[in-house]
Amino acid sequence: MRVDLVIENWPLFAKGVWITLQLTFLPLLIGFLIALPAGYARARGTPFWSPFVNGYVYLFRGTPLLVQTFLIYYGLAQFEWVRDSWAWTFLRSPWWCALIAFSLNSGAYATEIIRGAIETTPRGELEAADALGMSKWQVNRLVLFPSALRRALPQYGNEVVFMLHGSVVASVITLQDILGAGRTLNAKYYLAYEGFLTAAALYMAITFVLLAAFRRLEGRFLKHLRPRTA
């Protein structure tokens, strides 16, 4: 393995790591902001919003992320009214197209995570809050959402890792993420696997850090749910 070429081209991989982190955490943040009200609407069966949320979740969970990215990056450019609109300032950029696709995809999966966490919230917690005279808004803000989000941590940790790995789709629309950096290295020096092995090592390192962080969060917020040993 040509380690010397990998070291020589470390700025390429450093830039790839930066783009990968952007296209992992920004979509997760935007997706979470989408999922919080959408998951609540799904769990409570809100008459007006539920049909729209159900359609959105089914659409983005039922189609591959690659197809969604292609439709936004290549598909929208086919419409002249899109190219003539203010949105073209963003949609002409592969970075923005990836951000939009990844955010909508993450939001759909996070919606189901939050919906499940809300539906499994012990009824006694909500009844106790009602007995204290809390309003519906106070019950949701101070009891329901904090309790549900704590229980959603393990599943959301998986979503973070899936989003990290799914971000490799960005490399197929000309973005130089980690995988794109590896492919560039291989093509530049006619290598077979050095770029891919380096990319794999970087993804594994980031995944290790993410999993460790979520283990610490789970240990802090879910400690009371662990069975006691004799």
Would you kindly state where each structural domain of the chain is located, as residue ranges?
A: 3-223
- 148: its two tokens: 């549900």
- Under 8 Å between Cβ of 199 and 14: no
Structural domain 3-223, CATH architecture: Orthogonal Bundle (1.10)
Whether the full predicted model's pTM is greater than 0.95, yes or no, is: no
pLDDT per residue over 84-101, tens digit each? 899 899 999 999 999 999
Report the chain's C-alpha Rg in angstroms: 21
Whole-number mean pLDDT of the chain? 90
Q: Token pair 């979520």 is at which residue?
A: 214
Distance from C-alpha of 122 to C-alpha of 200, rounded to nearest angstrom: 41
Please give the distance of CA 25 from its chain centroid, rounded to a whole number: 7
pLDDT per residue over 2-42, tens digit each? 788 888 889 999 999 999 999 999 999 999 999 999 999 99
Distance from C-alpha of 134 to C-alpha of 218, rounded to nearest angstrom: 28
Distance from C-alpha of 121 to C-alpha of 119, rounded to nearest angstrom: 6
Distance from C-alpha of 164 to C-alpha of 26, rounded to nearest angstrom: 11
Residues of the chain with pLDDT > 70, as a percent, come to 97
pLDDT per residue over 159-180, tens digit each? 999 999 999 999 999 899 999 9
pLDDT class for 226, splitting at 50, 70, 90? low
- 164: its two tokens: 């990290």
- 105: its two tokens: 């995809």
pLDDT at 230 over 60: no
pLDDT per residue over 128-137, tens digit each? 888 888 888 8
* Residue 47 Cα distances to 42, 60, 115, 139, 179, angstroms: 10, 21, 16, 21, 43
Query: What value does the mean pLDDT take over residues 149-166?
Result: 92
Q: Dihedral, CA atoms, 184, 188, 194, 198, nearest 10 degrees?
A: -30
Query: What value does the mean pLDDT take over residues 151-163?
Result: 92
Q: Is the dihedral of CA 117, 50, 41, 166 positive or negative?
A: positive
